[in-house]
Amino acid sequence: MKRNYDIAAFIWPAYTGKEPRTRLFWPDGIGEWQTVKEAKAKFDGHTWPRKPLWGYRDEADPTVMEDQIREASTHGVNVFIYDWYWFDRRPFLEHCLNEGFLGAKNNTDMKFYLMWANHDAHYTWDLRNSDSVNETIWLGSCDRREFDTVCDRVIRQYFLKENYYTIDGCPVFMIYDVDNLVKGLGGIGKTEEALISFREKVKAAGFPDLHLQMTSWGEHYHNLTGVDGEKTYSTRELAKALSFDSLTNYQFVHFTNIDRDYHEILPDVRKEWERMDREYTIPYFPHVSVGWDNNPRFQGFRGGIVKNNTPEAVEEGFRMAKAYLDSHPDRVPLVTVNSWNEWTETSYLQPDDLYGYGYLDAVRRVFVEEE
């Protein structure tokens, strides 16, 4: 019997000029397409610049997203995970989701959920200053009052949508930077209280509960000095203390050395998945990254580049994820993928002038065409 898999690709919602505050980073008014257009090769053999086969289209335009939803769902990508931001007491970069995806006539052909990208904002997005300026522009952490406002907003505006992704009827909400969450809320105890309150709000909205998903950056100790005294927590302890329901990754670069051939990376990825199974009592959902090379965001050379991440190589990662899920038949068959459109980190499924539809075809071969 053929199994239906949920292939969830992260979306970086910066390919639009509709968010006024993006002019700080991309003054041309086309979002981070400006950086993609200006990207240059940094060494002989560097496969930049690359061009999107679909053009530099505004992803906050519902007609553009209608096309992308059609292509994604045809190739087996049936969930989008939107990076979601809250800076300076208000949302940031919501236009691609609110106007583009949710405005698309066929948006119910796909599911979506949110990853709260609650990291601080620096000048990394500004090609003019990213090499030399490391100042914080906006804090990604927030206090309890702001946290409650965030909870109310995501429940009202997103969780109640018919195509919001759920597990066992519970809306999935992923948190990118748990350390920053704890920092803003004032410690583990206060964060636990805030998350319990979030769950109660979700239940009051008519759901069984909240499915809280943790972004794993590999196993390490979290130094919360100044928040919880001298106490440090392992990632396992943090996940348990805050009652996360599952975990996945956002990028291979967060937990392994990516400055090598893609085929050399995959065995270490498999070992990380096996470790998750051994050491965690909550389910882990396998993650596949397409690549990593963030040189487009910098004028100087940045070391650390995934090599030979051809569609054929990445297809091996997809097969590995499928095998992992098939060995866990009691688990929701969810795979997270970095990403749909992270052009400036060179980790995307969208077709380009180098590999065409290669990555999307790889998804389709593994998760749609094969039984």
Query: SS3 for the chain, per residue?
Result: CCCCCEEEEEECCCCCCCCHHHHHCCCCCCCCHHHHHHCCCCCCCCCCCCCECCCCCCCCCHHHHHHHHHHHHHCCCCEEEEEEEEECCEEECCHHHHHHHCCCCCHHHCEEEEEECCCCECHHHCCCCCCCCCCCCECCCCCHHHHHHHHHHHHHHHHCCCCECEECCEEEEEECCHHHHHHHHCCHHHHHHHHHHHHHHHHHCCCCCCEEEEECCCCCEEECCCCCCCCEEEHHHHHHHCCCCEEECCCHHHCCCCCCEHHHHHHHHHHHHHHHHHHCCCCECCEEECCCCCHHHCCCCCCCCCECCCHHHHHHHHHHHHHHHHCCCCCCCEEEEECCCEHHHCECCCCECCCECHHHHHHHHHHHHCC
What percentage of the chain reaches a pLDDT higher than 90?
A: 94
The pLDDT, as a whole number, for residue 332 is 97
Across the range 344-370, mean pLDDT stands at: 96
The pLDDT, as a whole number, for residue 362 is 98
- pTM of the predicted protein model: 0.97
Residue 221's pLDDT band (boundaries 50, 70, 90)? Answer: confident
CB 109 within 8 A of CB 72: no
Residue 189 has pLDDT above 60, yes or no: yes
The pLDDT, as a whole number, for residue 232 is 86
Across the chain, mean pLDDT equals: 96
Q: What is the pLDDT of residues 95-153, one digit of tens each?
A: 999 999 999 999 999 999 999 999 999 999 999 999 998 899 999 999 999 999 999 99
Residue 154 has pLDDT above 80, yes or no: yes
The pLDDT, as a whole number, for residue 220 is 82
Report the alpha-carbon distance of residue 124 to residue 11 in Å, rounded. Answer: 18
The pLDDT, as a whole number, for residue 283 is 98
The pLDDT, as a whole number, for residue 244 is 98
The pLDDT, as a whole number, for residue 193 is 98
Q: What is the pLDDT of residues 179-188, one digit of tens each?
A: 999 999 999 9
Q: Which amino acid is at 310?
A: T
Identify any residues that bridge with 248 across adjacent strands, giving them in sequence order: 215
Q: Which amino acid is at 353?
A: D
Residue 1 has pLDDT above 70, yes or no: no
Residue 227's pLDDT band (boundaries 50, 70, 90)? Answer: confident
CATH of domain 6-369: 3.20.20.80
Across the range 26-54, mean pLDDT stands at: 97
CB 298 within 8 A of CB 40: no
The pLDDT, as a whole number, for residue 225 is 73
- What residue ranges do the domains of the chain occupy? 6-369
* C-alpha distance from residue 199 to each of 121, 196, 243, 329, 337 (Å): 27, 5, 11, 27, 27
CB 219 within 8 A of CB 234: yes
Instruction: Give the other-Cβ count within 10 Å of 131's Cβ.
Output: 15
What percentage of the chain reaches a pLDDT higher than 70?
A: 99
Nearest CA to 32 out of 352, 293, 292, 296 is that of 296
Residue 371 has pLDDT above 80, yes or no: no
Q: What is the pLDDT of residues 303-312, one digit of tens each?
A: 999 999 999 9
Report the alpha-carbon distance of residue 207 to residue 204 in Å, rounded. Answer: 7
